[in-house]
Chains A and B, each alone.
Chain A
């Protein structure tokens, strides 16, 4: 199975500041056939199911604010919240769907400083 490792486990950011979450996969999730990275990001608020934010590593889901962006390729990926808002307080997960069973990172908790 591909192991997904997120860092940091938690971070506190001031309102309006940038938040950066990292995700590393134990093997590449890039497909040269499709020219895509099979990597998605989810946001989970307390008591709610996860919500898809980003797929194909950098494509924003419909309705997701443009302050959320995904980048990276191969084994190293980043989710950036360009200007943190109060409603962004949540746990964020990366997930690969490249090969084998889909696997998730351990999550990163984002709080307001």
Chain B
């Protein structure tokens, strides 16, 4: 059974760097074409894809946030880490870790999400 769980500080101050950690189980990030990504959702708004990292260490980023994002993986710990620099109140929202399915091509398993608030 695939599970993903996000962890992060709940409150950030403007200009700080956010570090999000996704710890997963039920699959390996060394398996061909598997990916783990991040998606966020501001309060009451739609979903926004942020980044994905694949089994071969290929990394893709949202073009609008690319300069602020870094995604890495630690396959020995079954973890994926996303850092986002220069946090702003507009970055407030729920951040989800997701499993990208090889067969389905899209995001089939989601973590419960972690709420991040950016405020001074």
* Contacts from A to B (Cβ < 8 Å): 1, 36, 38, 40, 42, 48-52, 55-56, 59, 61, 93, 95, 97, 100-107
Contact = CB atoms under 8 A, between A and B. Distances in A.
Contacts of B48: 104
5 contacts: A1-B63, A40-B107, A56-B104, A102-B49, A107-B47
Give the dominant DSSP class at B's interface: loop
A50 B104 CA distance: 16
A103 B112 CA distance: 20
Given A1-B63, A40-B106, A56-B105, A101 B49 contact: yes
A103 B47 CA distance: 8
A107 B108 CA distance: 18
B60 interface: yes
Give the dominant DSSP class at A's interface: loop
A38 B100 CA distance: 13
Contact of B106 (A1, A49, A55, A105): A55
B105 A38 contact: yes
A102 B25 CA distance: 24
Contact of A93 (B46, B101, B112): B46
A59 B111 CA distance: 22
Interface in B28-68: 46-49, 60-63
Given A1-B63, A101-B62, A101-B63, A52 B46 contact: no
Contact of B47 (A1, A50, A56, A101): A50
Contacts of B24: none
